[in-house]
Amino acid sequence: MSRRVLVTGAGGFIGHHLVTFLKAKGYWVRGVDIKMPEYETSQADEFEVRDLRDPDACRAAVKGIHDVYHLAADMGGIGYITSSHAGITLNNTKINVGMIDAARDFGVERFLFASSACIYPQYLQLQPDVTPLKEADAFPADPEEGYGLEKLYMEKMCQYFTEDYGFATRVVRFHNVYGPLGTYDGGREKAPAAICRKVALSQDGGEIEIWGDGLQTRSFMHVDDCVEGIYRIMGSGYDKPLNLGTDELISVDGLVDLVSSIAGKRLSKRHDTSRPQGVRGRNSDNSLLREVLGWEPRILLAEGLVPTYRWISGELEAQSSLQAPIPAVAAE
């Protein structure tokens, strides 16, 4: 019998890609989410629409499951996560507590939690040429308000469940993930998708709006590397937090230039410093990841952005052709 796995957040960006990856590896997969995937049909053997804030929904989701990949979360880009601290903290606390409790009660063998680089102290991220963040840097804590604080709390809960109950957990700190089939509009999109959308919608020689002064830096990981890393970490037996990201640091202006060159457009930038821009600089230190897995993400940004840009511009073109006015029928 193949192992039965659950992916929560299977209607979302990374969860949907993870379901496809696990199916290709031969697993039996149940996907659960409050919504269906937006852009493609799920390959999950079972896809259940459930609200995981409800503890009974968590219990139903984990029934008969060996491994849980727990990715469901109320989240979005910097504009979204800074706009609603109370709602995000409340929703994610309910989802996470319900899921780990149900998974342990129902005899789940391994439980992987999708954490975030947002747990890292803000005082270490004040410069664009930031020192890459190591796992041990998490404390003394000063995480991103709301979203980051709740992720850090859940990381500790995983640790306590392992120490006190012998429950096998994995904690993965993702650093900005991008790729095709991710949200690119509506307010929850993250920087690479938002920039691809803005570039795709601009005329050559035009201007685009950038949040912040454009000098803030990040590293970005392609979703194919992300799902492979998640899978390797689940199999590793390593039960402490691990970074999963690239250490290829780039400024937001650099990211815009890269997308513009992929699109073959020359664009000028208008910086809006009244918009949220998050920490000044953030990068991943992958020393521990390399030591534990003998592997690290390898897709270069310039490579991974090509299919991402093509997918987003294709989606926008399809939408605009759907919205195009119906031509008047010529009079006979």
Catalytic (active site) residue 147: yes
- Give yes or no for residue 233 binding ligand NAD (CB under 6 A): no
Helix axes of 252-263 and 191-201: crossing angle, nearest 10 degrees = 40
Q: Which residues pair with 30 in a beta bridge?
A: 6, 46
Interatomic CA distance for residues 246 and 255, integer angstroms? 15
Nearer to ligand NAD, 97 or 202 (CB): 97
Binds ligand NAD by CB under 6 A, chosen from 24, 26, 35, 166: 35
* 13 binds ligand NAD, rule: CB under 6 A: yes
- Contacts of ligand NAD in 60-99 (CB under 6 A): 71-75, 91, 95
Q: Which stretch binds ligand NAD (CB under 6 A): 9-17, 79-87, 103-111, 267-275?
A: 9-17
Q: How many residues of this chain interact with ligand NAD, rule: CB under 6 A?
A: 26
Distance CA 178, CA 172 (A): 16
Contact 195, 151 (CB under 8 A): no
180 touches ligand NAD by CB under 6 A: no
Spell out, one character per residue from 258 to 297, where the chain touches ligand NAD: x when CB under 6 A holds, - when not.
----------------------------------------
Of residues 5, 19, 34, 195, which one binds ligand NAD by CB under 6 A?
34
210: contact with ligand NAD by CB under 6 A:
no
Catalytic residues: 147
Query: Residues in the site for ligand NAD, rule: CB under 6 A?
Result: 9, 11-15, 33-35, 51-53, 71-75, 91, 95, 114, 116, 174, 176-177, 183, 190
